[in-house]
């Protein structure tokens, strides 16, 4: 019994380790369905704010790199926290590919805001694919959010108004346009609706809005369909695509462990029942043996019958029976 009890305790401990393992409980990234650009923006906003929360004293006006999920590792994500008054009076010079002039007004008014920069890299055509067009440069995003609560998720973008001049975008990685084609600037609004405009120069576009931007050219042949990456889901920064497999393996281990534990419990219950059955049988045998012993004679005492022991006559003898 002591061995079975110890084994049961160890088995329960092993099961607790299996089910409480981070690889089992961590949320895995789904591997199907293309998410909307609004979901992608919300996810990247969440990761951006997480990077600020981890900082002890994030400085205003400094550029910070933010982590992204492992399956979106080709996306570059940076952010800068600014005072609304400073952004309006000074602008931001040299914010990656963006040159932001002064005179920018954010509505509704907030004391501080965060400018989130996105470079979608080779995932540009996946999230912002255009029928009949090919990207010559990666899609770049610039979005403004309220920085009052750095733990907030799913924040709406602030409205941006330019009162003095447009924002200039100087693309760094631009492919050469095919001979005879005319590259164009494309701006995607917050709902991914495109609008086209002419380039300021070979690799420079301008805009009066926030959103996503790139340089495209009309395609003469159908472009190959982009390979869909795993759909991102808001989760902890340490998630990776292998978590789903780890969870499946954990369940394969857990099922036989649970089955074995149930069988062990049933075996212990059966053993306890057998022990009690033998004890009860032994007691019944002892009582039976006691009943088989010598029966006593019964006699009446008043209105009650009671057992009495049989008497033995002892012949009397004199102390001095033999007299000389």
Give the model's pLDDT for residue 49.
93
Neighbour count for residue 44 (Cβ, 10 Å): 25
- Work out the percent of the chain whose per-residue pLDDT is above 70: 69
Burial 21-32 (b: 16+ CB within 10 A, else e): eeebebebbeee
With H, G, I as helix, E, B as strand and everything else as coil, classify residue 258. helix
Supply the DSSP symbol for 201. B
CB 85 within 8 A of CB 63: no
Neighbour count for residue 41 (Cβ, 10 Å): 23
Burial class of residue 199 in the structure, from the number of CB atoms within 10 Å of its CB (0-12 exposed, 13-18 middle, 19+ buried): middle
Give the model's pLDDT for residue 2.
47
Neighbour count for residue 183 (Cβ, 10 Å): 21
24 CA to centre of own chain: 10
Using alpha carbons, select from 189, 267, 182 the residue that is nearest to residue 1.
267
Give the model's pLDDT for residue 316.
64
Which fold does the domain 32-240 belong to in CATH?
Chondroitinase Ac; Chain A, domain 3 (2.60.220)
Burial class of residue 75 in the structure, from the number of CB atoms within 10 Å of its CB (0-12 exposed, 13-18 middle, 19+ buried): buried
Give the model's pLDDT for residue 197.
95
Using alpha carbons, select from 153, 127, 155 the residue that is nearest to residue 141.
127
CB 169 within 8 A of CB 200: no
Distances 309 to 168, 296, 297, 303, 316 between C-alpha atoms, Å: 124, 6, 7, 19, 21
Residues 6+ apart with CB under 8 A from 160: 104, 105, 106, 144, 209, 210
Angle between helices 243-292 and 2-20 (to 10 degrees): 160
Name the pTM for this structure. Answer: 0.59
Residues of the chain under the 70 pLDDT cut: 1-35, 221-250, 287, 289-298, 302-324
| pLDDT single digits (tens) 77-92 | 999 999 999 999 999 9
- Rounded Cα gap, residues 26 and 46, in angstroms: 18
Residues 6+ apart with CB under 8 A from 321: none
């Amino acid at each position: 019994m002591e061995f079975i009890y110890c084994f049961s305790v160890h088995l329960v401990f092993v099961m607790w380790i299996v089910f409480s393992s981070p690889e089992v409980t961590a949320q895995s990234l789904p591997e199907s369905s293309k998410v909307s650009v609004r979901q992608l923006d919300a996810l990247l906003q969440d990761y951006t704010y997480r990077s600020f929360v981890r900082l002890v004293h994030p400085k205003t006006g400094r550029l910070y790199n933010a982590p992204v999920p492992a399956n979106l590792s080709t996306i570059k994500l940076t952010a800068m926290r600014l005072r609304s008054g400073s952004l309006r009076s000074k602008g931001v010079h040299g914010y990656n590919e963006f040159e932001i002039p002064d005179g920018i007004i954010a509505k509704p008014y907030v004391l501080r805001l965060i400018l989130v920069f996105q470079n979608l890299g080779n995932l540009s055509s996946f999230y912002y694919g255009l029928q009949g067009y090919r990207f010559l440069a990666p899609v770049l995003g610039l979005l403004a959010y309220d920085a009052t609560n750095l733990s907030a998720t799913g924040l709406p973008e602030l409205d941006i108004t330019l009162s003095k001049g447009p924002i200039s975008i100087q693309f760094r990685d631009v492919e050469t346009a095919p001979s005879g084609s005319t590259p164009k600037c494309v701006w995607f609004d917050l709902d991914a609706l495109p609008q086209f405009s002419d380039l300021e120069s070979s690799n420079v576009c301008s805009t009066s809005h926030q959103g996503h931007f790139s340089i495209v050219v009309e395609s003469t042949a159908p472009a190959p369909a982009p390979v869909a990456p795993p759909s991102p889901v808001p989760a902890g920064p340490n998630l990776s695509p292998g978590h789903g497999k780890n969870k499946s393996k954990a369940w394969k281990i857990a099922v036989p462990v649970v089955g074995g534990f149930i069988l062990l419990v049933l075996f212990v219950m059966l053993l306890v029942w057998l022990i009690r059955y033998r004890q009860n049988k032994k007691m019944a045998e002892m009582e039976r043996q006691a009943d088989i012993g010598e029966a006593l004679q019964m006699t009446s005492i008043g209105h009650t019958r009671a057992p009495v022991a049989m008497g033995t006559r002892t012949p009397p003898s004199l102390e001095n029976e033999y007299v000389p």
